[in-house]
Structure 1
Amino acid sequence: MELGLNGRTVLVTGASGGMGREIATAFGAEGAAVVIGYRSRPEDAAHTAGLVEAAGGRALTAPYGLGEPDTARSLVDAALHWTGRVDVLVNNAFRAFGFRPPGDRFEEVGDDWQGKLRDNIEGAVELTRLVAPLMRERGWGRIVHLSSSLVTEGVLETDAGRIGAEYYAAAKAALHGFSRSTAFSLGRDGDILSNVVVPGLTRTFRNEERMANSFGVAERYAARAPLGRLLDAAEVARVVLFLASAANTAITGQSITASGGA
């Protein structure tokens, strides 16, 4: 299937991490110019260098942090300076909460829950606001937001979960409403589609150790899936790739679950 991504410019946030890395690599393999947004940390240099190579060498790295509006503008400006356009936005970056043991109470969480709640929704909204005029001008664009199955499944007390996951789920649920509404307003001005991909618990190169210390969450989640296993990040990336492609002409304003049926 021809995806029509060759020569398109794609912004992927959180692209030095597990899910984002696979997403950016998938776009690069289709001939897209990939702008890799990443939070500046010492270990990111090696990851982003490898990612540029994996994306066929046609990739640009730029610092980006949720809750840092200046970096959102800089990320878009970097893309415009490089290729003069932004065709696709993938909002993948997120601020995570750590695992918690069973029995902890969400109202006792003090791990900057207000800041993380705001950043996990406001960061995606800010970037969407910045790229929307560019997509309207060209009459074409694709926006894909990465969410979480916590929105629909909830945080199960028997499965432990993450510290503050209730607040993370609230932010992601808001993202669903935002994407649904912007699909209507953007769709009036061209072939501009907005969707949400909802991964379940997914294997990435960065979270293997965390899942091993997650009080059996990964095993119980896999047991609930018809496939009997967790998906890996590359499998979720292929869902994102299609929704963000020219081959997708019919799906917009939707939340697509990619969890292996769990």
Structure 2
Amino acid sequence: MDMGLAGRTVIVTGATGGLGEPIARRFAAEGADVVLTYHDAAGKAAKLAADLEGQTLTIRYDLGDPDTARALIDQVLAWTGRVDVLVNNAVRWGSAQPGGGFEEAPDDLWRRVVRDNVEGAVTLSRLVFPHMRERGWGRLVHVSSSIATHGMAGGEFYGAAKAALHGFNRSAAFSLGSAGDILTNVVSPGLTRTAANRHIADAVPDSYYDQIPLGRLLSAEEIAAPVVFLASAANTGITGQVIAVDAGC
């Protein structure tokens, strides 16, 4: 299937993470010009860029710093003059204190988790939209989590932020769609086996798999595939949706 991504400029935030790297690799394989953002892992980003096919650009981006968001878009426009796809994959982790409930977490922790995860994605979406509108084409994909819908003890703040992103995505679909062929969707993975969380995936008890229709955890590559499809020209009619990619949980 021709994804229609050759020559398009794609921003993947959090590209050095467990999901970000395979997402970036799939876009590069489709011939896209890929922007890889990182927070601290500059060396890892440079190594990934060197390993990918086609044009790549690495840029530092802090989810909680709007100035880095504006600088990111300025650098991308100076590089290719366009922004066709934004994948909001960067994440700010945070949970209740070990041994304590969510009510005991420090205020600065929970506020940062909620604020950065929501405002980071919304800020970048607002910045890229005018350029997509100008061309009459664009795709936004926001990477969420099943915690937003299924819940998890300790995931109160992160789940709240991702649920807010679902609401933003739904309403934004109307504004974006009225401006051209501009689509926005959420991909919501369940617990996924990635290069960064092998210790977590390997510790899952056998009883957990009984709750999964496929009886296994999905790989990061299996999350990357629908992300790239939704962000491509092959997707012509899916927008405003939350797509669960979780082995059927």
Letter in 1 for 2:58: T
CA distance in 2, matches of 1:66, 1:218: 33
2:68 counterpart residue number? 71
What is the CA deviation profile of residues 96-133 of structure 1, one whole-angstrom value per residue up to 9, with x for unaligned ones? 126876x6411112271111110010000000000000
Question: Within the alignment, does 1:259 sit opposite 2:246 as a pair?
Answer: yes
**Does the aligned pair in 1 maintain the 2:92–2:117 contact within 8 Å?**
yes
Q: 1:242 aligns with which of 225, 229, 232?
A: 229
1:229 counterpart residue number? 216
1:148 counterpart residue number? 145
Letter in 1 for 2:105: V
CA distance in 2, matches of 1:217, 1:199: 16
1:81 counterpart residue number? 78
**Does the aligned pair in 2 maintain the 1:28–1:54 contact within 8 Å?**
no
Letter in 2 for 1:112: L
Letter in 2 for 1:56: E
Q: 2:122 aligns with which of 122, 125, 134?
A: 125
1:105 counterpart residue number? 101
What secondary structure sits across from 1:24 in the alignment?
helix
**Does the aligned pair in 2 maintain the 1:6–1:30 contact within 8 Å?**
yes
Letter in 1 for 2:231: A
Q: How has the CA–CA distance of structure 1 residues 107 and 193 changed in structure 2, closer, same or farther, with 3 Å as cutoff?
A: same
1:160 counterpart residue number? none
**Does the aligned pair in 2 maintain the 1:26–1:241 contact within 8 Å?**
yes
TM-score under structure 2 normalisation? 0.94
Q: Which runs of 4+ in 1 moved over 6 A?
A: none
Q: Paired residues, what number?
A: 248
Q: How has the CA–CA distance of structure 1 residues 46 and 210 changed in structure 2, closer, same or farther, with 3 Å as cutoff?
A: farther
**Does the aligned pair in 2 maintain the 1:151–1:172 contact within 8 Å?**
yes
2:161 counterpart residue number? 171
Letter in 2 for 1:7: G
CA distance in 2, matches of 1:74, 1:52: 19
**Does the aligned pair in 1 maintain the 2:96–2:102 contact within 8 Å?**
no
CA distance in 1, matches of 2:210, 2:219: 15
- Structure 1 residue 54: Cα displacement: 3.4
- Structure 1 residue 211: Cα displacement: 4.4
Could you list the runs of 5+ residues in structure 2 that have no partner in the other structure? none
What secondary structure sits across from 2:173 in the alignment?
helix
**Does the aligned pair in 1 maintain the 2:97–2:104 contact within 8 Å?**
no
What secondary structure sits across from 1:225 in the alignment?
coil
- Structure 1 residue 210: Cα displacement: 4.3
2:17 counterpart residue number? 17
Question: Within the alignment, does 1:93 sit opposite 2:83 as a pair?
Answer: no
- Structure 1 residue 67: Cα displacement: 0.8
What secondary structure sits across from 1:60 in the alignment?
strand
Q: How has the CA–CA distance of structure 1 residues 205 and 189 changed in structure 2, closer, same or farther, with 3 Å as cutoff?
A: same
Letter in 2 for 1:130: L
CA distance in 1, matches of 2:179, 2:246: 32
**Does the aligned pair in 1 maintain the 2:144–2:162 contact within 8 Å?**
yes
- Structure 1 residue 227: Cα displacement: 1.2
Could you list the runs of 5+ residues in structure 1 that have no partner in the other structure? 158-162
CA distance in 2, matches of 1:168, 1:48: 25
1:6 counterpart residue number? 6
Identical amino acids, percent of aligned pairs: 59
**Does the aligned pair in 2 maintain the 1:144–1:197 contact within 8 Å?**
yes
For the aligned residue pairs, the C-alpha RMSD in angstroms reads 1.7
CA distance in 1, matches of 2:195, 2:228: 19
TM-score under structure 1 normalisation? 0.90
1:204 counterpart residue number? 194
What is the CA deviation profile of residues 69-106 of structure 1, one whole-angstrom value per residue up to 9, with x for unaligned ones? 011011111111110000000000011126876x6411
